Amino acid sequence: MKKLIILSGLVVAACTPTLNSMTRAEAIDICQAQADEDAQVLSGNASAGVNSLTGPSFGLGLRINLTPKPQAQTFDACMNELAANGQIVEGM
């Protein structure tokens, strides 16, 4: 019986996803980037390339965010989520 309990505990531990730990400075950088992205109304990208078989290729992308979020709100939510998950580790 004791082996069964230990074995089931190991199975649960093996299936539980691990979260990346980070310093407070890294968390601030990540959350600031997310807040900046969520606050943008328009963003886009462009690409160009050449393939010896198909020739030149070009690409354009446009993102229109109809519901931009305030940066402070997004930043606070991100930091709170990371702290609640125990991902922010001091002294790393």
Higher pLDDT, 33 or 15: 33
CA distance 45 to 60: 6
Question: CA torsion sign, 28 to 34 to 38 to 40?
Answer: positive
Query: pTM of the predicted model, to two decimals?
Result: 0.56
Q: What is the residue type of 32? A: Q
89 pLDDT tier (thresholds 50, 70, 90): confident
Average of per-residue pLDDT across 24-43: 90
List Cβ neighbours of 13 (8 Å cut-off, separation of 6 or more): none
The pLDDT of residue 91 is above 60: no
- DSSP 8-state code for residue 19: P
Spell out the domain ranges in the chain: 22-92
